[in-house]
Structure 1
Amino acid sequence: MTAVPVPRQRDIPAAESGQPGIPQQPLTLLVIQDDPAGGLTVPEILDTDGQRIRIRTARNLTEAARLLTQDVHCILLDLSLPGAGLGSGPARVTATAVETAGDELATLRQVLRIAPRHAVLVLTAEADAERAAEAVRVGAQDFLFRDELDGRLLSRAIRYAVERKRADIAQYKLAESKLRAQENARLERGLLPTPLLEGSDIRFAARYRPGRSRALLGGDFYDAVRTPDGTVHAMIGDVCGHGPDEAALGVELRIAWRALTLAGLSGDDLLATLQQVLEVERPCDEIFATLCTVDISPDGRRAGLCLAGHPAPLVARTEGPARLLPYEDSGPALGLLPRARWPRRQVELGSSWGLMLYTDGLIEGRIGTGRERLGQDGMVEMINRHLDRGLAGEGLLEAAVTEARSLNGGELTDDVALVLLARG
């Protein structure tokens, strides 16, 4: 047929939204065809609101890739475009072109690769309906026949293709989000264990909040078990960093701690073995972990405390306000010093008490808009206020995290883990 030139391309202002497939401004169409005279019989295209659809033209995929900016909403590809390479001539034959030799839809497949988030229409002859349908199965949103094409039909097809692509992307993101949530839930079961405290009169509560966006796990970890002699062992730790490698290392250290504790190790021997595990499993030598362990005697009246570069726990007794346990003579974080030692300190608890273990994500949040941090003193004051209100267990931990977030003016950037053991 006789080709009629498409409207001349003019300067295109930058898109406001920056989201292909979500038209917040007049639509822009990128036409890919090798005929310089143009293969469209449409002198002007108006959308359903009467606004002109802006048109860009490219003779090959090299030009198309250059013109494919964020303000392009839809691509119209002429299936008669020869060759699958990013241009014309022997010099432009690519490895992809060789791989797809004989593939009638090779050019379309390349367009879909370079524009995965853009709506794509294909233009073909009516006699080639079978290939047009195959193009839709490959990934195009729709096909159009040259002999039937007019401005109104093209406008509707563009609008439909853009909306369908947006729906496809939304559906893909939803499915991806569900898969990520399922995977994170499986990992979370390893990170947030069920304490093994059967037969003990000690109550257990925990609260965990990861610092990474959209994550369910971070580098903090904790656990609690009761050994056959009636001793209750609990720990909390923090791997430096916030990525998935640190989260995985936290899970490994937590599992190793449980296994070693059930095997009878405690105190310095246990921490020395955990350091060996960390040194073998960490992704680089700069990674270290802080740890706090407590072992509570079978009668529940005293505990052994070991600190490896970790903040000291908080203890609350009936006869006075909550206060920090002594942290003098604590040892270094795991992974910092070879052949380090971690002294075990004996602590008297009494008959009725609460013991809170925590990671530094709770105390490093800011207070208001300044540079001041909550700190351990601010945390002690905060916990005492909540205790005076009668809060206990998970309610106390939830209130502490909520207030820390409020003081910080939003989400805390570091992981936060809290463990509360209580008796009486």
Structure 2
Amino acid sequence: MEYPEGARDDGLPAVLSDPVRLAALEASGMIASAPEQEFDDLTRLAASVTGAAISAITFVGDAQTYWKSVPHLPYGGVEAWQNGVGESFCYFAVGANGPFVVEDAAKDARTAGHQAIGPWGVGAWAGFPIVTTDGHAIGTLCVIDANPRQWQPQELESLAVLARAVSNEINLRISLNIAQSALATAQSALATSRELARSLQDSLLPPVLRPVPGLDAAARYLPATGNVEVVGDFYDLFHARGPWWTAVMGDVCGKGTEAAKVTALARYTLRADAGDHLSPAEVLDRLNTAMLAQRAPRYLTAVQATLRTAPAGAAGRLCLAGHPPALIRRADGRVRQAGVPGTLLGTMPTVRLTDVRFRLAPGDLLFLYTDGACEARPGPHSALPHRPIFDEDALARALADTHGLDAATTNARIAEVLAGHHGGWASDDTALLSLRVPPQP
């Protein structure tokens, strides 16, 4: 018999050894699998509509034929329910990738003398291939009669429909397996992405603030709900020179790797220049120049304070570059804003930046924050969805309520107030930095 893709040296169809077809068969999960009711129902129906004595669903490999449904035989286990690929007629339909119909197996030139005739009692045989969505024949649905017979057109049409039903079941399973595998891969990739994003985010924030003599300092980072991207909120506290220390907080527009690049550029530029220039306005102006020279893909807002401590407290200068004003909480609980509004950085060569002097007495606290703290709004599942935005006035009142608390506890209390306002669903990342002069004993 001639096959569309030729024959192997043993005379069997060459397509049986096609690695792509074998991969499709492997993906079906049918190799050496146990009988299932879904397939037994279809083979019994095939026997019923044709009146044949034997019906079967088999899957054809390179060297073996694997039986899936042979209702007239008890299941004999994986090893018993397979035979050599040339020991049955099943490979004929696979080799032709179409129906194979024999009305008298002993006399048909294609099957006369075939080794399967005796063991299977084949007088007449009719089978249709089981085909994957990409056109690979991986098995056969067939019926066998002990005596020669003429197959009626309606019988063959019914067999074709049943073979398509088997094919559809297999293809649905393959699609489900692919979807489940893709979902598992996506979930793994998402988990990896979250881990990498958080690792990168953590690398852009100092893990522990360096202790400043005579100052109680604490920072807190509050990620947005469900956020897996690197964001541009950052803070830093470092020694500038001599008795001077620098605190800085910034917020880069956007998220992802582009925001991370700008964050890294800002942090390292500020550290490099703060030791040479004690004016925050001068340092931020140099950062603006560096961002334009590096063609930074994002702009940023920032607040920088340079200060030194003394027995009477702390004093320094503060500058805003498009950033929300700093807040100073006095020892008696009064809160006031500090800083003159200035130009955000990274958009134009000339910026308006102003240094403002400030003093902190014992018990006073300087509070820096990003706009997540003054733009908090109720989440989609909040019990009070129409509650107004938690604005700068609300933040000032909340800070006043922390009167007497140290830096870390102040940050924790503000975080609790924000969570209570948005109902546990934060729309934006938030950074908090508190610098407090300890009260005198």
User: Residue 315 of structure 1 corresponds to which residue in structure 2?
Assistant: 328
Q: How much has 1:223 moved relative to structure 2?
A: 0.7
| Mapped partners of 1:160, 1:298: distance in 2 | 71
Q: How much has 1:270 moved relative to structure 2?
A: 0.7
Instruction: Give the letter for the 1:207 counterpart.
Output: R
Instruction: Give the letter for the 1:146 counterpart.
Output: T
What is the DSSP-based 3-state SS (H/G/I as helix, E as strand, rest coil) of the residue aligned with 1:297?
strand
TM-score normalised to structure 1 length: 0.58
User: Residue 351 of structure 2 corresponds to which residue in structure 1?
Assistant: 340
User: Residue 400 of structure 1 corresponds to which residue in structure 2?
Assistant: 414
The partner residue of 1:235 within 248, 253, 277 is 248
| Mapped partners of 1:280, 1:401: distance in 2 | 37
Deviation digits for residues 138-196 of structure 1, max 9, x if unmatched?
xx9x9841257969966874565355334412321232123213422442233212456
User: Residue 369 of structure 1 corresponds to which residue in structure 2?
Assistant: 385
The partner residue of 1:183 within 182, 185, 196 is 196
| Mapped partners of 2:93, 2:163: distance in 1 | 19
Q: How much has 1:364 moved relative to structure 2?
A: 1.3
User: Residue 324 of structure 1 corresponds to which residue in structure 2?
Assistant: 336
Q: How much has 1:216 moved relative to structure 2?
A: 4.9
| Mapped partners of 1:189, 1:207: distance in 2 | 12
User: Residue 139 of structure 2 corresponds to which residue in structure 1?
Assistant: 145
Is 1:298 the counterpart of 2:309 in the alignment? yes
* Cα distance, 1:264–1:163 mapped onto 2, change above 3 Å: same
Deviation digits for residues 267-308 of structure 1, max 9, x if unmatched?
222111011122234455xx5322111112132521211111
| Mapped partners of 2:349, 2:172: distance in 1 | 66
User: Residue 251 of structure 1 corresponds to which residue in structure 2?
Assistant: 264
Q: How much has 1:243 moved relative to structure 2?
A: 4.8
Q: How much has 1:234 moved relative to structure 2?
A: 0.3
What is the DSSP-based 3-state SS (H/G/I as helix, E as strand, rest coil) of the residue aligned with 1:236?
strand
| Mapped partners of 1:394, 1:303: distance in 2 | 22
User: Residue 414 of structure 1 corresponds to which residue in structure 2?
Assistant: 428
Instruction: Give the letter for the 1:382 counterpart.
Output: A
| Mapped partners of 1:391, 1:171: distance in 2 | 47
Aligned sequence identity (%): 24
| Mapped partners of 2:357, 2:317: distance in 1 | 5
Instruction: Say what the alpha-carbon RMSD is for the aligned residues.
Output: 3.9
Is 1:384 the counterpart of 2:397 in the alignment? no
Give the structure with the higher percent strand.
2
> Quick check: 1:195–1:225 contact (8 Å CA) kept in 2?
no
> Quick check: 1:211–1:242 contact (8 Å CA) kept in 2?
no
Kindly report which structure 2 residues correspond to 1:48-197, keeping only aligned pairs within 5 A, or say none: 126=91, 144-147=138-141, 157=170, 160-194=173-207, 197=210
* Cα distance, 1:159–1:401 mapped onto 2, change above 3 Å: same
Larger radius of gyration: 2
* Cα distance, 1:283–1:225 mapped onto 2, change above 3 Å: closer
What is the DSSP-based 3-state SS (H/G/I as helix, E as strand, rest coil) of the residue aligned with 1:240?
strand
User: Residue 267 of structure 1 corresponds to which residue in structure 2?
Assistant: 280
* Cα distance, 1:359–1:164 mapped onto 2, change above 3 Å: same
> Quick check: 1:46–1:152 contact (8 Å CA) kept in 2?
no
> Quick check: 1:209–1:416 contact (8 Å CA) kept in 2?
yes
- Aligned length, in residue pairs: 293
